[in-house]
Structure 1
């Protein structure tokens, strides 16, 4: 069997919805689902009798086993034909799931963890989006199983990886692909202060045509590999993060690179990717360009 889909569970209210989504992803891929809980207690080297400052060790393990059993049950109900395994890993969630990603096909985590504040993106999701060794899907509580796949396009290496993944996802789901490129007349890619490209080039229509050409070129080759995927090219003059977040309302999945062409060297998660993970209206899969 191929590499598994791995889902992290933590006992949060949204965890079971995340497990159901991961089970469906595994089913579409014909992959095993591996349900993982990162358990910090053993990593603290607590004696077998437990700690006087915490709950009895037996009660802790019963709680962990209970949440895993419930997660497995929900996974099997969501995707009855999927093989489901589970594991408890000693350690902090971000590091433990990053290690799991080395042998995974896809990592699936919830938008918020058990310690998160309402509406805020969990630290585990941010960590994995930046450091995972495979694509990471961040699931929101409200999901839809129809609608197109949406991919954010620019001319960065990260976008090229995201485009390839998005074509595969659209084919897998039997749905359309929206390739969206947002642009403005302002450029901040140099070390100098931002420059208005209209002042430099003097022709907005020419700029628009160049952006449209860039989008078409970015998609070339992938259309031939996926002739059954209907592609809708959208070039929008506007701020990237706002445009993507608005467009996500009609999508079943958004695919985005970890860092776009405006990112600073060394940053593994760009500002647009971070904003989309916080505010998108659908699940978001982050793809890094340096993945095998």
Structure 2
């Protein structure tokens, strides 16, 4: 995860700046405040206090353990947001599940966005400028849109005006944040495209999402093939919930896999896989001699 490592290295540098008493940043007028607003900064966990007005008090322990396991493997995909309340002291604004899971995972620091006094306009400018950059991955763009919603309370219509993007485009980016963290990480690292992610998001179950994600990686599926796979999963699930349904849902294997069969048998082999994983392989032959040739291939 080269991108993530780069960000965290930058965050550690900014963290050192914030811990310098001679450069205590309290508002946007202070020196170096522009380096803080809109950036990801690594903060020590023991400097962050939980918001006493957090309305949510019940956290599922099993879900927290699962998130902690994910964080151990991938790191914190979406940084938390905190408010600076004193020198090297912060109060949590959003991301308490991520904060708790980071502690369970044994982390000493966590990536965070820091809000400082009178930074509202500066933050909007920083985020809009960030979205306009060409080197951002789709998840980074989605996170910037989400921050404009959560911290500035902009509507999607207002964001559309600010960043010059269609509302539908903004919606498509935001939906990516509903993907399992493993898949978000895969998009950030370029293992799959935003198009793949948009196809996968149509499945709500995260286990099924990651199964399909691993299949995309293993078989180098195109976006179109991924869409067909997702459709087969959805229709297969529908059939499971409706035993009276008669229609058989299938999808074909990838072009690369098809070529393996064709090269081996010397003929175009028809491979069909049902939504439940079962399937058929049909090998055509054109004469008794051709059948004998195929039998010899299989008996080697």
Kindly indicate which of the two structures has a greater share of residues assigned to strand: 1
Normalised by the length of structure 2, the TM-score is: 0.28
TM-score under structure 1 normalisation? 0.29
Q: Which has the larger radius of gyration?
A: 2
* Structure with more relative contact order (C-alpha pairs < 8 Å, separation 6 or more): 1
Q: Which has the higher helix share?
A: 2
